[in-house]
């Protein structure tokens, strides 16, 4: 029975994470705490979460491409820079101890929660930017957020949506399409680094990934560009549980 407990914790939460990530980004705010709560060490939790996230994001990305939300002249430059950033971030994460990662999370989690609670976090700019400038801003943001995603990850999709809409001025559908391509790129890049370094719990990651894919499929079919408001309470509840659990383990 003990061997089943990690799966009982991870599977329903990765399903929920896939759903949330498809409609609003930030599914990692739910899935990464799930792997920690299942008892994985910090590096293994981050690494195994990447495998689960890759599977769900791949499905969501394919669906968004099919629905015409991906504008390739925007998405490809962003993905290229995000790839470099994510690999650097993953190598950086491996240089930290397990305890140091948990301490860093005690800072990141409340900051992420504060961001999520902002009422107007993904409203597009009132005036559109020239396309080249919008692409340059989006690519630069993708590189910076890619570093974060490789190092830690939760909230990456939401942060990308914020950058693409409120800073670069992309429409919500365009931003969500680019977000999926960039997030898939950063997840794959970081996953390769973690696999090479033997940090991924393969069976748990694959099973969690299958549930993440189911959630992503459901989420894409319900996407309406206003998903964040609907999933904020879920994200905040999981973050609160994760924060208390991490604090208790460090005391």
pLDDT band at 238; cut points 50, 70, 90: low
Q: Based on the number of CB atoms within 10 Å of its own CB, is 136 exposed (0-12), middle (13-18) or buried (19 or more)?
A: middle
Instruction: Please write the tens of the pLDDT for every residue from 174-202.
Output: 888 898 899 899 889 889 989 999 999 99
> In the 3-class helix/strand/coil scheme, how is 13-30 assigned residue by residue?
HHHHHHHHHHHHCCCHHH
Q: Find, among 156, 150, 136, 161, the residue nearest to 77 by Cα.
A: 136
Q: How far is residue 233's CA from residue 24's CA, in Å, rounded to a whole number?
A: 13
Answer yes or no: is pLDDT of 228 > 60. Answer: no
Instruction: Please write the tens of the pLDDT for every residue from 44-57.
Output: 998 999 999 899 88
Q: Find, among 60, 32, 29, the residue nearest to 237 by Cα.
A: 29
Q: How far is residue 242's CA from residue 34's CA, in Å, rounded to a whole number?
A: 8
pLDDT value at residue 1: 45
Q: How far is residue 28's CA from residue 76's CA, in Å, rounded to a whole number?
A: 23
Answer yes or no: is pLDDT of 129 > 80. Answer: no
pLDDT value at residue 79: 94
Answer yes or no: is pLDDT of 148 > 80. Answer: yes
Domain spans of the chain?
Answer: 2-250
């Amino acid at each position: 029975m003990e061997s089943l407990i990690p799966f009982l914790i991870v599977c329903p939460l990765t399903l929920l994470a896939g759903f949330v990530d498809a409609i609003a980004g930030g599914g990692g705010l739910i899935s990464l705490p799930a792997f920690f709560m299942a008892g994985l060490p910090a590096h293994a939790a981050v690494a195994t979460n990447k495998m689960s996230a890759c599977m769900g994001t791949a499905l969501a990305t394919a669906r968004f491409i099919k629905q015409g939300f991906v504008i390739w002249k925007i998405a490809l430059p962003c993905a290229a820079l995000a790839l470099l950033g994510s690999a650097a971030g993953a190598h950086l994460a491996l240089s930290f101890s397990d305890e140091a990662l948990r301490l860093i999370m005690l800072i990141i989690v409340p900051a992420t929660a504060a961001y999520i609670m902002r009422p107007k976090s993904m409203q597009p700019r009132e005036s559109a930017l020239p396309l080249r400038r919008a692409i340059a801003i989006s690519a630069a943001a993708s590189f910076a957020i890619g570093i974060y995603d490789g190092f830690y990850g939760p909230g990456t999709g939401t942060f990308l949506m914020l950058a693409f809409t409120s800073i670069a001025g992309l429409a919500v559908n365009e931003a969500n399409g680019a977000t999926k391509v960039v997030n898939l790129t950063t997840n794959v890049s970081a996953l390769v680094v973690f696999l090479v370094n033997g940090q991924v719990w393969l069976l748990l990651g694959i099973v969690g990934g299958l549930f993440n894919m189911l959630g992503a499929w459901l989420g894409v079919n319900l996407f309406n560009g206003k998903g964040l408001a609907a999933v904020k309470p879920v994200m905040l509840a999981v973050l609160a549980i994760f924060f208390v659990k991490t604090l208790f383990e460090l005391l």
